[in-house]
Structure 1
Amino acid sequence: MGTKTESERTYKIGFIFLDEIHHIFHFISIATELSKTQKVSILTYPSNHDLLRRSIKELDGDNITVEELPTSAFRSFTDRIKGRELPRKGFWIKKNKKYILKTFDAVVFTDYFHKYLLRDRKPGKTPKLLKFPHGTPGRAYAFNKSQLDFDFQLIIGNFQYQQYKEMGLLGNHPAITGYAKLDALKAKERNFSFGNKKPVVLYNPHFDPNLSSWKHEGLEVLDYFYNQEHFNLIFAPHLHLFQENKGGHKASEIPEKFYRKKNIHIDLGSLKSIDMSYLNSADLYVGDVSSQVYEFIITPKPCIFLNPNELQYENDFSFRFWKCGEVINSAKQLNEALTKATADFAKYRTVQKKITEENYYTEEGSTASERGAKAIISYLDKALA
């Protein structure tokens, strides 16, 4: 099953990419599928864009055009002075909105920087604004009232659909198509090895200061693995944790001894931290509120969750992932939790499988990317008839 429809029209579709590299895998495979029959551009800022271009090549997306559009000269100057790697999105969109509004039939966002286009669209409400998720909906951030600004919503599974419906966030044109990130990463096997047979634990704290385990327990977690020899540890936090304007922490907080320990691997933001290499390689997951755990349990495996803030989470859907393993309040409980994690895993396996089925729609004979591209073309055929 491919992306072909009865459509005789060809649409110009622009994908806005102004974010960190972890957004790429959430749109690139659908962009590639669309480019087989449509005119697809990725609209971004001037840079090397090594991962973006490599991903396009791996997926045979030769028909995709990468358009590097500058922000204003003044904003570019101040960005350089302040050491910003990314342009400020609002200023970039303001600078390029006339071109975008005039050129494209549809524009895709993986985040919520669409307001300037929404306000200034043509009387016929074009281009259409399409919303992609940039991960598995888990915490409240994914359930943003701005969802209703979009003309079309790509939905990855039944849980997301039902939550949007119950919360009044479901627009007039949602399409449940599955998790395209998995298609984007199939082109190349990705993993990581310590070169020994010890079990591998992944510690993946989030950056949100109110929810992350790093501030209160992070160094204690690293100390535990430093002082034992049974496990290997991959410390790969959310990309934002050690960004000053996001998580607010500095890499200098991590003592050098942890980098020198052979059974500890630290990665604060390389490609492997976002391309599922560590998720595929780990035998156990230790985390807090990162939705990456949903990708980890696609193949059911033991999980442990840190709740140092002693949050009351039992009836909060934002903590649904904490049903997948034991929840502990302190790194002091880590040794006992790891000892029990594999032995007690049978009671969590069924829960994990059920959550994965709810999270990710699948269908025999087609990929999520093919279904997503087909749904977009079908929507545009009706909306722009």
Structure 2
Amino acid sequence: MVFSYYFYKYPYILLWHIKNLIGKTDDMAFYCADPLDYEMFQPIQKHLPKMKIIAKNNKVKKYLDKKGIEFIGMPAFPKVVIMARQTPYKFPVNRIVKFGFDHGLYQFKRWTSPKNYNGFNIYFVSSEEQVNTAKKLGINTVKAIGYPKLDKAFNGEYDQIFLNSIKESRKINPDKKTIIFSSTWDVAGLSALPKWIDKLELLTDDYNILVTVHTWTSQNYITRLISMDRVIFINEYDVTPYLMIADIFVGDYSSIIGEFCAFNKPIITFKVPESDRTIPDIVKMIKRISIQIDDFEELRDAIEKCLADPMEKSTERQNANKSMFYALDGNAGIRAANSILEFVNK
């Protein structure tokens, strides 16, 4: 913790206790560090009482303002705070009840220091396997509830009528198979984006091509993707409907691979070099559930193989889902909300 933090911590603690004494603290709030955090939180929020939304920065403020959602800035003084980041220290009062959850699926990233999780009263994760791993690392606050971001896909909210409306609005040709490309953040050599971005349009005669990339992807890549006439660039934060629409997924190393795996459809991945950012067990899992290729030149054959036998690796995908998800029943948000309310009201 940097020294300057303590100039924030102790005045905050004093102010919180004063505000709490005179009844000026908020009952419950959601700390939103990124627009994706809010998208992840919505399936939980709808089962909770109305609360304040705390916007971390201008990016979040613009996003919330565009959606017509009221917000406040920092510092904020809630009695209960929920967040999709491992930053409980931003609310450094022991009496503040803190709940956290991952903004990405499963453990595609390494666990950080146990104190970043043990600072929460409950930290929600997607699976029991994560709970077991966390406990071995000395993290004792984790609870498996599933993955709220996918609830709408499994509770009927994203039904066929809704998906058809997206297909129509985005001009997705019903006579073509649909392939969704994704890439992780273009650092550390894990992104396969440079391998396919200049050749993507070679596939558009035969397939609908959808693209989503990491929100921190270099702007020059995003600008090029948006400029491609017959490539559909997904700029929504919730890409779940597009995962449901797609027949095949093409990726590299990111948690969205796990999200697509939930639908038990074919996956193709570019091999990535192992590094300090990769986790050996995740590399092995990706290899099991996907057809792996080295270069774009191998992609078309891999696509045709997936279309010819989409159930190849189905068993492997289902086994991976058992590791990544507590359940795929559309009720992860309800489980999280119930846990929050039970803890707060006990």
Determine helix, strand or coil for the equivalent of 1:207. Answer: coil
CA distance in 1, matches of 2:79, 2:38: 21
**Please, which of 172, 175, 196 is the counterpart of residue 143 of structure 2?**
175
Provide closer, same or farther for how the CA distance between residues 363 and 213 of structure 1 changes in structure 2, counting only shifts above 3 A.
closer
Provide closer, same or farther for how the CA distance between residues 108 and 316 of structure 1 changes in structure 2, counting only shifts above 3 A.
same
Residue aligning to 1:239: 215
Preserved CA contact (<8 Å) 1:140 1:318: no
Provide closer, same or farther for how the CA distance between residues 205 and 363 of structure 1 changes in structure 2, counting only shifts above 3 A.
closer
Residue aligning to 1:136: 105
Determine helix, strand or coil for the equivalent of 1:375. Answer: helix
Preserved CA contact (<8 Å) 2:109 2:279: no
- Amino acid of the structure 1 residue aligned with 2:105: T
Provide closer, same or farther for how the CA distance between residues 15 and 254 of structure 1 changes in structure 2, counting only shifts above 3 A.
closer
User: Are 1:67 and 2:36 an aligned pair?
Assistant: no
- Amino acid of the structure 2 residue aligned with 1:113: T
User: Are 1:156 and 2:126 an aligned pair?
Assistant: yes
- Amino acid of the structure 2 residue aligned with 1:358: S
Determine helix, strand or coil for the equivalent of 1:112. Answer: coil
Q: Return the offset for 1:155.
A: 2.2
User: Are 1:327 and 2:306 an aligned pair?
Assistant: no
Residue aligning to 2:191: 212
Q: Return the offset for 1:201.
A: 0.7
CA distance in 1, matches of 2:108, 2:271: 15
Q: For structure 1, list consecutive stretches of 5 or more residues without a partner in the other structure.
A: 1-10, 55-65, 70-92, 244-248
Q: Return the offset for 1:127.
A: 0.4
Report the count of equivalent residues. Answer: 304
**Please, which of 195, 214, 220 is the counterpart of residue 173 of structure 2?**
195
Q: Percent identity?
A: 19
CA distance in 2, matches of 1:307, 1:255: 25
Q: Return the offset for 1:33.
A: 0.8
Provide closer, same or farther for how the CA distance between residues 353 and 53 of structure 1 changes in structure 2, counting only shifts above 3 A.
farther
**Please, which of 222, 247, 250 is the counterpart of residue 286 of structure 1?**
250
CA distance in 2, matches of 1:13, 1:184: 24
Provide closer, same or farther for how the CA distance between residues 371 and 253 of structure 1 changes in structure 2, counting only shifts above 3 A.
closer
Q: Return the offset for 1:357.
A: 2.7
Q: For structure 2, list consecutive stretches of 5 or more residues without a partner in the other structure.
A: 1-25
Preserved CA contact (<8 Å) 1:24 1:52: no
Residue aligning to 1:88: none
The two structures have a TM-score, normalised by structure 1, of 0.69
Provide closer, same or farther for how the CA distance between residues 381 and 108 of structure 1 changes in structure 2, counting only shifts above 3 A.
same
Q: Return the offset for 1:177.
A: 1.8
Preserved CA contact (<8 Å) 2:110 2:277: no
Provide closer, same or farther for how the CA distance between residues 308 and 358 of structure 1 changes in structure 2, counting only shifts above 3 A.
closer
CA distance in 2, matches of 1:294, 1:157: 12
RMSD (Å) for aligned C-alpha atoms: 3.1
Q: Return the offset for 1:198.
A: 1.0
Provide closer, same or farther for how the CA distance between residues 295 and 312 of structure 1 changes in structure 2, counting only shifts above 3 A.
same
Partner deviation per Cα, 1:119-142 (whole Å, 9 max, x = no partner): xx1xxx110221111121232245
Preserved CA contact (<8 Å) 1:308 1:330: no
Residue aligning to 1:43: 54
Residue aligning to 2:222: 251
**Please, which of 295, 302, 306 is the counterpart of residue 266 of structure 2?**
302
**Please, which of 88, 91, 96 is the counterpart of residue 117 of structure 1?**
91
Residue aligning to 2:79: 105
- Amino acid of the structure 1 residue aligned with 2:252: D
Q: State how 1:332-343 maps to structure 2 within 5 Å.
A: 332-343=297-308
Q: Return the offset for 1:340.
A: 1.7
User: Are 1:222 and 2:200 an aligned pair?
Assistant: yes
Using the TM superposition, name which of 196-205 and 108-117 deviates more. 108-117
CA distance in 2, matches of 1:253, 1:47: 24
Preserved CA contact (<8 Å) 1:152 1:174: yes
Q: Return the offset for 1:301.
A: 0.7
